[in-house]
Amino acid sequence: MNYHIIPVTAFAQNCSVTWCEATRAAALVDPGGDAATIIETLQQLGLTPTQILLTHGHLDHVGAAAELSAHYQAPIVGPQKLDAFWLEALPTQSRMFGLAECAPFTPDRWLEEGDSVRVGEVKLEILHTPGHTPGHIVFFDRVGRLLISGDVIFHDGVGRTDFPQGSYQDLIASIKKKLLPLGDDITFVPGHGTISTLGHERISNPFLQ
Ligand SMILES: [Zn+2]
């Protein structure tokens, strides 16, 4: 699976487009804002997303989802439904983060642990990884050894847990029980900052020692 990162919003959120080389089928993950920039980048890459995937319900990850869903006639898929309260609270989040007003929406499909989505010939497995938010999910390409991990784990860091329904205990359990066992060789694209590998984090991440 190929990917290209498009940093969006004042929070430098890593919106990413992933695509299958063989079919050029594409999915947009976490379009947090800056719809015009995203559309222009996809045009340059020659890609048209057929679905919009969300890791969790925070505004800086979903702010342009409804607009791009309408633009590309592509369904919004994910996160897990325990994040419904975050999507319902998007107008409040807009004020909280100081970003443009965003209307609430409901995804076309919620995702659960064990579900998968297809992007061309690539299968993305869904893991439910609560902690940063209760309905946070990650997308895992087992064959391509790539994880799109949202705000669960970062290069030498972990996601914040001081938001409503956040849990540090759940977050660390999600990382140690679900992500690290995927393998040291897994490259992950986090929601913010640079890419890393699970092996680097297992050994060096100060929150996991
Ligand atoms: Zn977040």
pLDDT tens for 159-203 read: 999 999 999 999 999 999 999 999 999 999 999 999 999 999 999
What mean pLDDT comes out for the span 35-50? Answer: 97
- If you measure from the C-alpha of residue 23 to the centroid of ligand 1, how many angstroms do you get, rounded to a whole number? 31
pLDDT of residue 99: 80
- If you measure from the C-alpha of residue 91 to the centroid of ligand 1, how many angstroms do you get, rounded to a whole number? 16
- Locate tokens 């660390």: which residue? 172
Does residue 64 contact residue 34 with C-beta atoms inside 8 Å?
A: yes
% of the chain surpassing 90 pLDDT: 94
pLDDT of residue 126: 98
Encoded amino acid at 120, one letter: G
- The per-residue pLDDT for range 113-122, each reduced to its tens digit, is 999 999 999 9
What is the rounded distance in angstroms from the CA atom of residue 92 to the CA atom of residue 199?
38
- If you measure from the C-alpha of residue 180 to the centroid of ligand 1, how many angstroms do you get, rounded to a whole number? 20
Which residues are found with C-beta within 5 Å of the ion, ligand 1? 58, 151
pLDDT of residue 42: 97
pLDDT of residue 96: 86
Q: How confident is the model at residue 100 (pLDDT cuts 50, 70, 90)?
A: confident
What mean pLDDT is reported for the chain? 96
36: pLDDT strictly greater than 90: yes
Name residues whose C-beta falls within 8 Å of residue 85's C-beta, 6 or more positions apart in sequence. Answer: 57, 164, 165
* Cis peptide preceding 79, ω within 30 of 0: yes
Residue by residue, DSSP assigns 42-80 as HHHHT--EEEEE-S---HHHHTTHHHHHHHHT--EE---
pLDDT of residue 97: 82
pLDDT of residue 25: 97
Does residue 202 contact residue 162 with C-beta atoms inside 8 Å?
A: no
Q: Which helix (H) or strand (E) covers residue 150, if one does?
A: strand 146-150
pLDDT of residue 121: 96
User: 35: which 2 tokens?
Assistant: 């719809």
Range 167-195 burial, b when 16+ CB lie within 10 A, else e: eeebbbebbeebbbebeeebbbbbbbeeb
